[in-house]
Structure 1
Amino acid sequence: MWTPQQLPELASQLKQSGARATPKQLAQWADPKGDPLGAVVPLGGCTASFVSPKGLLLTNHHCALGAIGLNSTPQRNLSRDGFKSGTNNEEVSAGPNARIFVLDSVQDVTARVQAALNGAADPLARIAALDALERQLVGDCEKQSDYGCRLYSYSGGNRYELQRSLEIRDLRLVYAPPEAIGNFGGESENWLWPRHSGDFAFYRAYVGKDGKPAPYAIDNVPYQPKRWLKIADKPLGAGDFIMLAGFPSLTNRYAMADDFQANAEWTYPTVAAHYKRLAALIDAESRKNPQIASKYASTLRGWQGAAKNYESQIESIRRAGTTQIKRNEETELLQWLRGKGATGQSALAAHARLVELGQQAREQRDRDLVLGQLSATGSLAAASQLYRSAIERSKPDAQRENGYRDRDRAAFENGLKQMDRRTDPRMDRQLQNYWLHEYVKLPKEHRVAAIDAWLEGDDEKSIKRALDRIAKSRLNNPEQRANWLKTDRAGFEQGKDASKDGAISFAVAIMPTLLQMEQEIRGRAGETLLVRPVYLKALADFRKSVGKLAYPDANGSLRVSYGTVTPYTKDNGVRQLPFTRVDEIAARSTGTAPFNAPQALLDAVAAKRYSVALLDKRLESVPVNFLADLDISGGNSGSPVLDGQGKLAGIAFDNNWESVSSSWLFDPAATRTISVDQRYMRWILQEVFPAPRLLAEMGVPASAK
């Protein structure tokens, strides 16, 4: 997951992978605002890319589920039936909090950050100094209200960048194929190969008539990006060079071996078990109530996907012996440092302190998990957010926590307004019931006295009484939620209405513990700011000494991966082909979800309506999905896959099962990214769920057979 600026340093490796880029082209590729990377933008935990000069955005179908659900009704299920617009006027809002950020400038602020950290007296002062400087940098950067700014830390704090981006706040859903195309095979096929998923959808970015970002308004006009991707005009084949760009949120390639082992042995199995049980509750209600199915579709898919991911990671870690590999890598580095004598001592001390900090973080992990989840469920989440907002509003704006500053208020209020469209009190009661039972299972020494007092007992009757009080909360009423937005801290802590409200009184009871947890995390983070850069600098030096270039862990900023279209051999010895074909969808279709391919697709396959531009003669069919040895992580969903000319060859949406633990360790022999071939996307747009205006807009009008 290379930073764009590292690409020129990788010239020889790129050439070995089949790239024919000249030094001039490499310099162009290394420009995050240039062509093609300037067309790639973050989209709410996913990635999207401009594919026309009229603001048309391509991303994954599963990244658009929020917008699909928001615009669905029991009578008009867009997930089941799909959505397409014939004109711009028919495009629908993706929601008030939907955002993309178009990069405008990058500033190296390492010296300023390190000076602030060096002047701090202790760990809490250090993290406070970083927070204060970040607020100052971001605040100064965002004086022009059209921009969003973010401070990024690289390599544990060895480099800091302030990035300014144009914040576009009016996104609209343009096209989403039916779920039977966009998620053919369903959740049971996550991280599996072969795949036949049309996991793509289109948004459009809008701005005000003056060309500046603006909230949704009917008379807004399409945004005109400076960069957009062109559709590949050369057929992609096995062995071809490709490059992927996107915004991976987090990797832990340089984590301590102890931290890795704790995740493998506790975090993943524990959280996966919780998510499976929670998903079963939602699934059971969804079968009885279509409205709940629509509201919780994104949540359900997220939990199911995460549970499967974690369980697969556990098995992948066991199969590959990843724990021992991580331990061996750390041991090798430590031996190298010891061999350096006095010059290696600071890094050795940093390593020892990082190990201690990891142990401290795990001391209350059961409690922290339960309290975090309980306070994030339904009306309890709304109450906690509103009370925290009141606490933060009692401070000057510059001293408030992120998410509660004046600039965050509109998004915060919009989220509360949308609560009824994304949650249901009956379903939330079941989820709250689950976490309250988990709370009373905690050992007494891990319980919280204020929550125990609020709960008034450990038995079923106590939990039922608590749930009844929550059910009567005024936060279940949109108008009352708006009223609590205006309430100050004293109103939450001393008001009669607050003490009688089950959700508000819970928030008041739990908040001191949540704030204490935050302070403990901040203290450890402050110490980490001092020692982790030392350790990671030593790691980079060690890698350089053996002829390897180090890249920073993913942090949500733009990254580039390169490789080739390539097959692999599964653990059972079966060699996998790098492409799947539309004919195979017809063969797999059963007529029952999730293998219920639309009749229009089956008819097109039966008639072999494969135009010359889309037919791959080597496959004797239209390709659907393909494999490549690219490096992706969460946040890369929707990332464009580019060919050697920088043109759109596909869109990434998944990994294979063998690589699910790649957030911790990248194995080029087993890691494969799964992408939708742009030819399949065009085939769907042409033959199955037609959208000729989108094809024309992307410069690829429908082709004759």
Structure 2
Amino acid sequence: MKRIFTLLLALCLSPALWAAEGMWLPLMLKALQDDMQAHGMKLTAEEIYSVNQSSLKDAIVSFGGFCTGELISDQGLILTNHHCGYGAIQSHSSVQDDLLTNGFWARTKEEEKPNPSLFVTFIVRMEDVTEQVLQGLDPKLSETEREKQVSERIRQISQQATQGTHYKALIKPFFYGNEYYMFVTETYDDVRLVGTPPSSIGKFGGDTDNWMWPRHTGDFSLFRVYAGPDGKPAKYSPNNKPLKPKHHLPVSLEGVQEGDFTMVFGFPGRTQQYLTSHAVKILMEQTNPHRIDIRDKRLEILDRHMKANDTVRIQYASKYASVANYWKKWIGENRGLKQLNTLEEKRAQEQAFQQWAAQDPQRNEQYGKLLARFAELYQQQERVDLANNYHREALLGVELIKLAGTFNALASGSLPAAELSAGNNRFTTALERHFKDYNAAADKDVFVHMLLLYKQQVPQQFQPEPIRKLPTTEAGIRTYADKLYSQSVLASRQKMQEQLSTYDPKKTAARLRKDPGFVLYGAIQEVFEKQIAPVYAATDPELELLYRRYVAGLRQMQQDKLFYPDANSTLRVAYGKVGGYTPQDGVQYLPYTTLEGIMEKEDPSNEEFIVPERLKEIYRTKDYGPYATEDYMPVCFVASNHTTGGNSGSPVIDAKGRLIGLNFDRSWESTMSDVKYSPEICRNIAVDIRYVLLIIDKFAGATHLVEEMTLVDANTTVEIGGEVMGVH
């Protein structure tokens, strides 16, 4: 309550400041309610988040732990992004039945496709448990001892909160451990694929348009969550029934206008708004440039192999998209950080902090030496940062090397034989998953160029012995690769299966210790564990302590400023307004795109810009149903909500609590917002819900799914916590 009061006070002191920046815990919304309503929101904080009655939060799920989804019917229908469902869609695809290319629409619930590893998680309630976690802790404790005591208290609090229930409890630190919040959750494991547009719609624009605006992508897919007969979570069973949620989002036909209030509700992954200039300097000048170069080469190689073979194209579609996603993000991030003079602003803030601390002896004692120590610790990390990034991005970017890590317990002899006695153990599962989507020729090509980059860029002291001995020519490394891939069991499904079927801890370990693939992996890990990891192990705990004190000091210094915790995959609300932006001199972007733009981008010779014939027919006949305006058929729009990874699939909700869009990206100019947010430039990108409905209804003919939703228009009263009567 004291923290909430402080936040309220800050709002009162700063009436002109509205929280365009920030990813807010729903618990904080009572303090933000007046500000949100002043900018157009018609809801109360209780209607957004409530423990005592159904609210918007009951329609929001963590989708698979990596994206967000939302309930859009009273029969458990979930809407999320096409790229969030991509792995599940791919798992059901083959050359003969290519769901990625052709799309899929279940005409009945019996046709919906199970996904054994997919789950969704609801937030039942959240609670500030800072006092229980931190009360009485000795401030002089080492970070290791502090973490030990905090972990034990978290275990006890979680156990007490969920005892006798099927719920789980997650307690996470906020503001670097200055505060702690508990999330009581409910997870459902039976999640089935209901519908997906073809990739020509769901990925329209492909990697060319990724992170870009204007955008014309129908990035959505539909799933359904099932429950046991009692409505509780249950493993997959044909007898399970569609979940009846506490709340589902009504779907708006009214559309959006520039200046409209918007709210994004979801599970943003990670932001680092409070990094010091020392960390930002390493990120901008060393980490990002090298990560970009490494992934650039990997993408070039994979693209060549995918274009040459349709089987490889399907096998590597998801992998390629995953590599490309952050490659492009890091390029934009560096550009944005430079454009906003982030490094200079951080240094100016730190100078002001230093001066503020020096003005009071007690503050100087508490905060005066923080920044100097930050500089010392980051200098230590900078010495190994290059090797660390090449280890993660180049060496572990090779699938054979990653597989060696998965199965290293076999080579070390540390795996008890009993763990392999069952036919369907984690190792056989991992092996099948790996080789299902594996091409040795493509991987070997990546191997050659990653080792070449490692030799060229990483100081010799960090080079594993087998790599250090290699020539510095591509031809020389390729000779080594040919030998390794022909001899190592890691390159062969059959040979790896034999290792599992004949496993004996001593004999198998003796064999694998001589295998060239495991030998290379062992040498790589030895360098990492002896020279790289110890530096982070020695510096990270102290950096955590320094950030805890630094952020506490910043909040003390700037008591009239609103502070929000960094994203950490917990449920958050961001709010902003629909609006275009000016990313550079002479360029002005509109806030929306239309079907006309899809036709303008069409390029039958480029798979990223192919337009399906059925969509062209809809465009020619203007068969838009109730989903178009008088002037155009909307496709996407942008708003100033502060988002990041994990917000993919998040609902974009209007002032009345109605679904108006589906968040799927940020503009390229916004990718620096994990470190530095700018309300003038940063824009989240959403597919307009009316385009989603058009594709489901008119394109796919899956009208039964639209009829399952609650469609509302401008004249419909939305009653949060009660029954919503829709229009069809």
TM-superposed deviation, 1:627: 1.4
Aligned pair partner of 1:268 in 263, 288, 291:
288
Give the aligned CA root-mean-square deviation in angstroms: 3.4
| Structure 2: distance between partners of 1:75 and 1:243 | 42
Q: Does 1:365 align with 2:385?
A: yes
| Structure 2: distance between partners of 1:67 and 1:144 | 33
Aligned pair partner of 1:222 in 242, 245, 251:
242
| Structure 2: distance between partners of 1:106 and 1:238 | 34
Contact 1:70 1:421 in 2 (8 A): no
Q: Does 1:655 align with 2:674?
A: no
TM-superposed deviation, 1:127: 4.8
Contact 2:61 2:121 in 1 (8 A): yes
Between 145-154 and 425-434, the greater mean CA deviation after superposition: 145-154
Q: Does 1:496 align with 2:510?
A: yes
TM-superposed deviation, 1:64: 1.5
Task: Please report the TM-score for the alignment, with normalisation by the length of structure 1.
Answer: 0.88
Deviations 1:599-648 (A, max 9, x none): 1111111111122x32223xx12211111111111111111000111111
Q: How does 1:147-546 map to 2 (within 5 A)?
A: 147-373=167-393, 374-375=395-396, 377-387=398-408, 414-441=429-456, 445-447=460-462, 451-452=464-465, 457-458=470-471, 461=476, 464-465=479-480, 468-476=483-491, 491=506, 495-516=509-530, 517-544=532-559
Deviations 1:642-673 (A, max 9, x none): 01111111001112232221111111111111
Mark the CA change 1:536 to 1:31 in structure 2 (over 3 Å): closer, same or farther. Answer: farther
Query: What SS does structure 1 have at the residue aligned with 2:278?
Result: helix
Deviations 1:467-487 (A, max 9, x none): 533454334555765776799
What is the one-letter code of the residue matched to 1:621? Y
Partner of 1:398: none
Partner of 1:30: 49
Query: What SS does structure 2 have at the residue aligned with 1:649?
Result: strand
Between 5-14 and 520-529, the greater mean CA deviation after superposition: 520-529
TM-superposed deviation, 1:698: 1.3
| Structure 2: distance between partners of 1:132 and 1:45 | 27
Aligned pair partner of 1:645 in 630, 642, 656:
656
| Structure 2: distance between partners of 1:232 and 1:626 | 15
Task: Please report the TM-score for the alignment, with normalisation by the length of structure 2.
Answer: 0.85
Partner of 1:55: 76
Mark the CA change 1:217 to 1:692 in structure 2 (over 3 Å): closer, same or farther. Answer: same
Partner of 1:623: 634
Q: Does 1:559 align with 2:572?
A: yes
Mark the CA change 1:590 to 1:376 in structure 2 (over 3 Å): closer, same or farther. Answer: closer
What is the one-letter code of the residue matched to 1:3? L
| Structure 2: distance between partners of 1:289 and 1:144 | 54
Q: Does 1:87 align with 2:87?
A: no
| Structure 1: distance between partners of 2:171 and 2:585 | 45
Query: What SS does structure 1 have at the residue aligned with 2:664?
Result: strand
Q: Does 1:572 align with 2:593?
A: no
Aligned pair partner of 1:677 in 666, 671, 688:
688
Deviations 1:40-80 (A, max 9, x none): 12224221111122221111111121112211111222221
| Structure 1: distance between partners of 2:539 and 2:299 | 33
Mark the CA change 1:155 to 1:467 in structure 2 (over 3 Å): closer, same or farther. Answer: farther
Contact 1:581 1:623 in 2 (8 A): yes
Aligned pair partner of 1:582 in 586, 595, 615:
595
Query: What SS does structure 2 have at the residue aligned with 1:624?
Result: strand
TM-superposed deviation, 1:598: 1.1
What is the one-letter code of the residue matched to 1:234? E
Q: Does 1:11 align with 2:33?
A: yes
Between 470-479 and 37-46, the greater mean CA deviation after superposition: 470-479
Partner of 2:706: 695
Q: Does 1:635 align with 2:646?
A: yes
TM-superposed deviation, 1:240: 1.3
TM-superposed deviation, 1:548: 1.7
Mark the CA change 1:119 to 1:512 in structure 2 (over 3 Å): closer, same or farther. Answer: farther
Mark the CA change 1:293 to 1:215 in structure 2 (over 3 Å): closer, same or farther. Answer: farther
Q: Does 1:609 align with 2:620?
A: no
TM-superposed deviation, 1:235: 2.9
Deviations 1:560-596 (A, max 9, x none): 1111111222313233221212233223323333222
Partner of 2:10: none
Between 315-324 and 170-179, the greater mean CA deviation after superposition: 315-324
Mark the CA change 1:85 to 1:150 in structure 2 (over 3 Å): closer, same or farther. Answer: same
Query: What SS does structure 1 have at the residue aligned with 2:585?
Result: coil
Mark the CA change 1:454 to 1:664 in structure 2 (over 3 Å): closer, same or farther. Answer: closer
Mark the CA change 1:660 to 1:474 in structure 2 (over 3 Å): closer, same or farther. Answer: same
What is the one-letter code of the residue matched to 2:454? Y
| Structure 1: distance between partners of 2:236 and 2:519 | 36
Contact 2:487 2:515 in 1 (8 A): yes
Partner of 2:614: 600
Give aligned-pair identity as a percent.
28
Mark the CA change 1:20 to 1:489 in structure 2 (over 3 Å): closer, same or farther. Answer: farther
Contact 2:582 2:589 in 1 (8 A): yes
| Structure 2: distance between partners of 1:650 and 1:161 | 29
Which stretches in structure 2 are left out of the alignment for 5+ residues?
1-22, 714-725
| Structure 1: distance between partners of 2:40 and 2:413 | 54
Between 496-505 and 684-693, the greater mean CA deviation after superposition: 496-505
| Structure 1: distance between partners of 2:346 and 2:504 | 47
Q: Does 1:76 align with 2:97?
A: yes
| Structure 1: distance between partners of 2:501 and 2:137 | 36
Contact 1:470 1:501 in 2 (8 A): no
Partner of 1:401: none
Query: What SS does structure 2 have at the residue aligned with 1:541?
Result: helix
Contact 1:473 1:501 in 2 (8 A): yes
Aligned length, in residue pairs: 681
| Structure 2: distance between partners of 1:171 and 1:178 | 20
Contact 2:68 2:647 in 1 (8 A): yes
Contact 1:429 1:471 in 2 (8 A): no
Deviations 1:531-559 (A, max 9, x none): 32111111122232xx2210011111111
Q: How does 1:136-155 map to 2 (within 5 A)?
A: 147-155=167-175
Contact 1:653 1:675 in 2 (8 A): yes
Contact 1:433 1:467 in 2 (8 A): no
Mark the CA change 1:502 to 1:559 in structure 2 (over 3 Å): closer, same or farther. Answer: same
Between 148-157 and 410-419, the greater mean CA deviation after superposition: 410-419
Deviations 1:302-359 (A, max 9, x none): 2223222222222222222222122222222322222233224312333333332222
Mark the CA change 1:129 to 1:295 in structure 2 (over 3 Å): closer, same or farther. Answer: farther
TM-superposed deviation, 1:412: 7.3
Mark the CA change 1:8 to 1:147 in structure 2 (over 3 Å): closer, same or farther. Answer: closer
Partner of 2:8: none
Mark the CA change 1:343 to 1:575 in structure 2 (over 3 Å): closer, same or farther. Answer: same
| Structure 2: distance between partners of 1:389 and 1:12 | 60
